[in-house]
Amino acid sequence: MPGVPPTRFVYLGPEGTFSEQALKTVPTADRGILTPARSVPEALDALRSGEADAALVPLENSIGGQVGVTLDELANGDPLVITREVVLPVQFVLAAREDRSLDSVASVAAHPQAGAQCRKWLRDHVPQATVVDVLSNAAAAIGAAEGEFDAAVCAEIGADRYRLHVLGKGIADNPDAMTRFALVSRPGPPPSPTGDDLTTLAVYISHDRVGALLAVLTELAVRGVNLTRIESRPTGERLGRYVFFLDCGGHVADAQMGEALQGLRRICADVRFLGSYPRAVQGDALPRPAPGLADDDFADARAWLARLRAGELT
């Protein structure tokens, strides 16, 4: 029911991964039932079928970029909406079943992306070790806990879960790496505006129109809507057919965002609203509206037009 906090959460598993760590930062999750899913489609299918009230899935990584499977799943199937974003620092540790010296580590289990993000640290601190690819950060931790590998590159939550000794902290080569997650629900009223919100859209342009993408961007720009991210994904129809994912500063309840959405609806082949939600705190606030583009300016313009239509020319 709209307005009722979720109690059943599903997330991209397995347990002991950054997804679980991100979900635990959601205030209502500490009182809920948390269930890992084997994949993003499985997590969102559980939400669509009613087996879960909310799903937490990764959207993008500051190093690896977009998570294509998540965008594809949100653009297709029964509609879902983002109600919250979580931005989590990607902080890896090197952990082992027992406390041991780094020069005694002969094998390290790591998910390929984790291994790539920690390549320099591993080369500098355990150059003698063979890095073995595994399916997830949690699988790496489990392999180390069971003695299959001498050590694992994993999230700290995974080291805690499987009672591993941390041999090295903050081992990522880029200490500022971040992953952005989305808390997704079935459609309902969006969270109330906070003044620092994002709206996410999936936009299908009209491919038979010259300058169709420029027209989309113009609908936003002329209303002072700040575009913070744009990604494209193939629709699967045929080569050259893409859906564009937009993150825009503002809320569907804002006048300028509302007018921009109406404009996009008029000129696009299709627009899927993927939610308005509070922006996670990260850096500077979004730019202030330019003169003439604040909510009060739109309200004043509507009132002026109404007076003209009523024959009141003063």
Are the C-beta atoms of residues 241 and 213 closer than 8 Å to each other?
A: no
Domain 1-89+177-187 sits in CATH 3.40.640.10? no
How far lies 279's CA from each of 82, 138, 158, 194, 196, in Å? 11, 29, 27, 9, 6
The low-confidence residues of the chain, meaning pLDDT below 70, are 1-4, 208, 281-289, 314
DSSP 28-89: GGGGSEEEEESSHHHHHHHHHTTS-SEEEEEEEETTTEE-HHHHHHHHSSS--EEEEEEEEE
Other beta carbons less than 10 A from residue 33's beta carbon: 12
Q: Which residue in the block uniquely carries the two structure tokens 């990607």?
A: 90
Residue partners of 82: CB distance under 8 A and separation at least 6: 74, 182, 183, 184, 200, 274, 275, 277
Nearest alpha-carbon partner for 85 in 261, 220, 263, 277? 277
Query: In this predicted structure, what is the pLDDT of residue 310?
Result: 82
Give backbone dihedrals phi and psi of 213, rounded to 5 degrees, phi first.
-70, -40
Asked if the peptide bond before residue 14 counts as cis, ω within 30 degrees of 0, the response is yes
Query: In this predicted structure, what is the pLDDT of residue 284?
Result: 54
Cα 206 to Cα 281: distance, rounded to the nearest angstrom: 35
Query: In this predicted structure, what is the pLDDT of residue 112?
Result: 86
Query: In this predicted structure, what is the pLDDT of residue 212?
Result: 85
CATH number given to 190-314: 3.30.70.260
Topology classification of domain 92-169 = D-Maltodextrin-Binding Protein; domain 2 (3.40.190)
Nearest alpha-carbon partner for 258 in 244, 273, 243, 268? 273
Sheet containing 270-278: give its strands across: 227-234, 242-249, 197-204, 270-278
CATH 3.40.190.10 residue spans of the chain: 1-89+177-187, 92-169
Cα 222 to Cα 216: distance, rounded to the nearest angstrom: 11
Other beta carbons less than 10 A from residue 71's beta carbon: 21
Query: In this predicted structure, what is the pLDDT of residue 309?
Result: 82
Chain CA centroid to CA 176, Å:
17
pLDDT tens, position by position, 33-64: 999 998 899 999 999 999 999 999 999 888 77
Query: In this predicted structure, what is the pLDDT of residue 227?
Result: 93
Q: Show the tokens assigned to 145.
A: 């806990």
Give backbone dihedrals phi and psi of 179, rounded to 5 degrees, phi first.
-120, 135
Q: Show the tokens assigned to 165.
A: 């000794």
Query: In this predicted structure, what is the pLDDT of residue 7?
Result: 87
Give backbone dihedrals phi and psi of 260, rounded to 5 degrees, phi first.
-65, -40
Cα 125 to Cα 173: distance, rounded to the nearest angstrom: 12
CATH 3.30.70.260 residue spans of the chain: 190-314
Chain CA centroid to CA 263, Å:
26
Q: Name the β-bridge partners of 57.
A: 182
- What is the value of pTM for the model shown? 0.81
